[in-house]
Amino acid sequence: MPMFLAAPLTAGTIDLPPSQLAVIYPAPNDPVIEHGARLLMEFDLPDSLNSKRIIYAEVWAPFPLENLRDTTLSFDLFSLTASWDENEVNWIFPWQNPGGDIDSLSTFRRYFAVASADSLNLDLTELTREWVGGGRPNNGFLVATNFLNRRGLRFNLNPILPQIRSRLSLRIIFDDGPPSY
């Protein structure tokens, strides 16, 4: 009986910087007090991932969390359905719906318990698989969270945006197995 040995899988990791990053703030006349700042991120994915199996993907985000210890933060991540430009985007433009054109069926809710951390790691495996497989256009995603609008305060993240951009990355772990989409 002939014996066939499977070729070993080749695994790899890639860290990608954001191609676009922006914060949008509610319009001054926005009547919904719960609307807080929203973080928009987009990462350009290399074509070489199209034939790979995505094992895991996460965004590492260096947020200052020292004032939020012993708190559980919730994040809603939405796939953006429209393209945008970080130099022009705001609460209204270029959206058909104020605050961002999102796929409301693609909510990826994440919870993060803050202990002494100074960063967040958000699991984006499912969304990354959809981007790589062509099941969803990669216009990036929007992060809406309770801590960017805590107690009705609207934090201004613009001063720390360059620092966040310089350290932010999407880490994708993949192998040569069958594509996972």
pLDDT value of residue 34: 67
Pairing of strands 108-114, 71-79: antiparallel
Cα angle 134, 140, 143 (rounded to 5 degrees) comes to 130
Q: How far apart (Å, rounded) are the C-alpha atoms in residues 109 and 89?
A: 24
Rounded mean pLDDT of 127-131? Answer: 92
Residues of the chain above pLDDT 70, percent: 72
- Token digits for 15? 């860290």
Residue 139 pLDDT class (50, 70, 90 cuts): very high
Rounded mean pLDDT of 95-121? Answer: 72
Lowest-confidence segment of 43-47, 100-104, 128-132, 149-153 by average pLDDT: 149-153
Q: How far apart (Å, rounded) are the C-alpha atoms in residues 126 and 159?
A: 31
Residue 151 pLDDT class (50, 70, 90 cuts): very low
Residue 88 pLDDT class (50, 70, 90 cuts): very high
Task: Say how many C-beta atoms besides its own lie within 10 A of residue 103's C-beta.
Answer: 15
pTM of the model: 0.81
pLDDT value of residue 181: 61
pLDDT value of residue 19: 96
Instruction: Tell me which of 142 and 108 has the higher pLDDT.
Output: 142
Q: Which one, of 47, 75, 80, lies nearest residue 61 by Cα? A: 75
